[in-house]
Structure 1
Amino acid sequence: MNFRTLGKTGYEISEVSFGSWAIGGTWGEVDDKTSLMALDEAIDQGVNFFDTADVYGDGRSERLLSKLSASVKDRIYIATKAGRRLNPHNAEGYNKENLSNFINRSLKNLNVECIDLLQLHCPPTDVFYNEEVFSALDDLKKEGKIAHYGVSVEKVSEALKALEYPNVATVQIIYNMFRHKPGDEFFQLAKNNNVGIICRVPLASGLLTGKMTKDFFFDPKDHRSFNRNGESFDKGETFSGVDYELGLKAVEELRKIKPQNMTMAQFALKWILMNDHISCIIPGGKTPEQVKDNVISSELPNLTEEVMDQVKNIYDKYIREGVHKLW
């Protein structure tokens, strides 16, 4: 496992880390025993950064992370998110009282006294223009409830605005073979400001694994079944906002240029890791086998410049027109 620095936090974290949305819910059925095995496998493979949120299974993934043995808790970092418990989810709800309540709940779920990294969970755009929100986070940091804070965003414009707040330590954003825009407009500025970059949805909700087909079955409880047009939350979180059948066509083109020593998932993850501006990727892992497959990408050979150019050409041909301008 290779490690990179997570911005202003100073944490040295595994470049392939662990996203825990899938073990919390809305990705079909999951079994807690298997999820704990996946978490243990991640640690055995050198993963030391785990990303979660208070709404993943209504705290389920946070509580699963709390079950990790005491012997490893002093050598891992857990980042959680707050804000999406608001109902309605509006900018006015992002105030110190609500954030404090959310953090207290996460502290209990995680069974810790201080959260390593607290992230605003894709708040409405207006939140990024409200200095009082970030002042409240500064206060909560002084109170010792959080060690550092950052933001999770939907849009590059929100990420750019977040850089204006000096104590924002990290930005979490969607970046993958089907979502190139952050690399064009945001990454260099983030690095200049010593802001860590956490890349989520690295496999485009599994589309980039190459395992899906036109008739692939998704559980009705799986967001890939019910949120393709943004029915429940931003559609960019499901298949990166790419039309499913168009995405399948692009995947077949990517398959033709995939190095022989990589699975499709490893190819997609390695493509992201080729960018040294990012701090880590957070693929989900519902089973130990998935975790192993993901982690291998850290030590695979770099992709050639020719392959990188070919990926861009496929993006330009199939994806750019429908996705690039939206986020």
Structure 2
Amino acid sequence: MRPTWADIDLDAIAHNVRVFRGLVGDSELCAVVKADAYGHGAVPVARVAVGAGATWLGVALVEEAAELREAGIGVPILVLSEPGPSEMAAVAALAGVRPTVYSEAGIAAFAAAARVGSPVHLKVDTGMNRVGAEPADGVSLANGIVGAGLDLEGVFTHFASADQPGDGFTGSQVELFDEVLGGLSAVGLNPPIVHLANTGGTLTRPDAHRSMVRVGIGLYGVEAAQALRGRCADLGLRQSLRLRSEVTHIHEVGAGGGVSYGHRWVADAPTRLATLPIGYADGVTRAWWDGGCVLIGGKRRPIRGVVTMDQVVVEVDDGVAVGDEAVLLGGQGEEFLGVGEMAESLDTIGYEVLATIGARVPRRY
């Protein structure tokens, strides 16, 4: 078997859940485990998160909810976007799974498939401009939910920039959302579960904790944005994924020798190179060669030449041998390569770094 895998530290995830549990007090804690728990494995992560204090789980797809139910995980699950009309019967068949709704068609489809009194959550778009009901339509849709015989259990919105401390737009979203809540209350609708805060909002806006928070990237010990790196460190959040491989080949290249496709890197002196059996098919982005590094022997080793589909080449010294461990994310000795560091170097976000670690990389727990 190829000596490449991802170590998943479930104890770190449990620790991170407890940190957020302490931050939000009596609020419900929804652990977001969509996209296979951001590449960590939805079922093992969900079990650990619930054991550590998460009271809800959040997913993006109906089939993700079904996987958790089939594994025997029984806490309430929220599908965070409105399922299509053809999917509503599947949602209704899953005990304790709540759909998000934000359209008349979605409400009607679920009402036709579900039992009377089945709970739903109404999503209101307060400025993300992606999906959700228009604020002006909130009351009419809420009335439609109740009129269809469904239970308006929750109402929520999603922050666009809460991971940027001091950003004024988040406050505007809170104000608009509170106006919607006021409109609902005026017609006698007071859903028991109100939620706004994602990881960024949970860390930066205590006023937005309300009756539930939804924590995704923070569960895995990764900052939602560079601006929150210090806050995450202060809280003691621990990165839960360690991506490792192994040196499988070593050779020398002379001065003037180019490395990898296009010879984007050329040696200016005789150089010792090590090859690792991991590449962009595994989530190590091709562009990572420019400024990227790998830990071998507790030292940072620069990538030389573009990352290829299945292999990475790095510059090493005489102390490195075939069989040595190579760490692409995580710690080795006194050094540490954070998901956020890789994301910053690639001008992306930690979410993408985690989500692109491919299925052919085994996860070990």
Q: Same fold (TM over 0.5)?
A: no
TM-score by length of 1: 0.42
Which is helix-richer, 1 or 2?
A: 1
> Which structure shows the bigger proportion of residues in strand conformation?
2
Q: Which has the higher contact order (CA 8 A, sep 6+)?
A: 1
TM-score, length of structure 2 as denominator length: 0.38
Greater Rg, structure 1 or structure 2?
2
